[in-house]
């Protein structure tokens, strides 16, 4: 679920200020097309680790929420704008996928908090 909103208002006759935020919520999911109880029946590596089973929750991707935001100024005609922005501004740590390759289970993590400055012009 992605929700977001922007608010813009004039601060002078030729200049507007805008602020915006968005939030993304992802519920719990699993990185494999399998039931956790079936995953737990499989040996991690039958050659090197006989009898060691894959944990049933090894591929679970926990629920997470991220928040993005922006603050900037623009011309009243829309000819240009400049803004600062942030993605995942609360630096939420989460996985985007979990999978297995031979005897290794690995999880792909998402980007940490990221900030920047942008400028745009219309001709």
The pTM of this model reads: 0.74
Q: Are strands 2-10 and 114-121 parallel, antiparallel or unpaired?
A: unpaired
Radius of gyration of the chain (CA): 22
Mean pLDDT of 31-51: 65
For residues 21 and 56, which has the higher predicted lDDT (pLDDT)? Answer: 21
Q: Residue length, the chain?
A: 123
pLDDT over 90 percentage in the chain: 48
Give the integer Cα–Cα distance in Å for 74 and 83. Answer: 8
pLDDT at 72 over 90: yes
Q: Kindly report the CA angle at 57 between 51 and 63, in degrees rounded to 5?
A: 170
**Segment 3-35, tens digit of pLDDT:** 557 888 899 989 999 999 999 999 998 877 666
């Amino acid at each position: 679920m992605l929700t977001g909103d922007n608010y813009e208002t004039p601060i002078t006759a030729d200049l507007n200020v805008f602020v915006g935020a968005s939030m993304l919520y992802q519920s719990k999911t699993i990185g494999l097309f399998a039931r956790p109880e079936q995953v737990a029946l499989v040996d991690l590596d039958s050659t090197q680790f006989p009898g060691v089973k894959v944990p049933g929750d090894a591929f679970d991707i926990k629920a997470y929420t991220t928040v993005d935001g922006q603050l900037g100024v623009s011309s009243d005609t829309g000819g240009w704008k400049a803004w600062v922005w942030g993605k995942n501004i609360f630096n939420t740590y989460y996985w985007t996928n979990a999978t297995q390759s031979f005897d290794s289970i690995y999880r792909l993590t998402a980007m940490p908090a990221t900030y920047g400055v942008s400028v745009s012009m219309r001709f």
